[in-house]
Every structure is written in structure tokens, then in C-alpha cells.
Amino acid sequence: MKVDKFEDVLAWQKAKDLTLIIYRSFKDVKDFSLKDQIQRASVSIMNNIAEGFERQSNKEFRYFLFVAKGSCAEVRSMLHLAKELQLIDSKDSENMMDLSIEISKMLSGFIKAL
């Protein structure tokens, strides 16, 4: 399958799914600082994939994929905190964690391919 636009990138699709799950899972969380930060970090994953793709340069795309990978780690770090503070369900936390790890691995593969 030829990738003509960033919406075709599987890692972007999964990052969008993760972002939607995070927004839904954290909608009732009263710790607004943590909620805002994890939401922004998840959006950063998908936006950096999109921005890098549109740069039309493998070097720049790789840079933005590294930034997206860093945002994946930030999401996972905050998921650990939210879980331990019992702000979100443990099972939901694990699902989001697994998806974040999957995205991070996809980004690593993409980076190596470029």
C-alpha cells in the first residue's frame, strides 16, 4: 500500500485511537494539570507524525518521529502515575499502555526504514 498522506500511516491511525481513548478515559479526572498534560502528549504523537510526513524530507520526518516517540514515553510515564493515584481504571491503563508501546515500536521501525 502506497502512503500518499499522513492519514494513511498506521502509526498515526493508532496514535489517533490512543488520543481518543485518553480523552474518554480522563474526561472525569479532576486533576486538571495531569489530564491536560497527558492529553497534550497524546495529541503530540499524532501531530508530530503528521507534521513530519508533510515536511517531504526523510531527515526532517525522522526528527519528528523521534519527537513522537518521546511523547509516547511521556504518555506511558503519566499513565503509570494516573494508575497509581487511582485516577483511572487499572485495565484501561494497561490497554493504553500496550497501545502506546505498540505505537513506539512502529515509530522505531519507521525511523530505521528511513
Write a three-state SS string for the chain. CCCCCHHHCHHHHHHHHHHHHHHHHCCCCCCHHHHHHHHHHHHHHHHHHHHHHHCCCHHHHHHHHHHHHHHHHHHHHHHHHHHHCCCCCHHHHHHHHHHHHHHHHHHHHHHHHC
Range 78-98 average pLDDT:
94
Model confidence pLDDT, tens digit, residues 8-53: 999 999 999 999 999 999 999 999 999 999 999 999 999 999 999 9
pLDDT of residue 1: 66
Does 98 have pLDDT greater than 90? yes
CATH number for the domain formed by residue range(s) 6-113: 1.20.1440.60
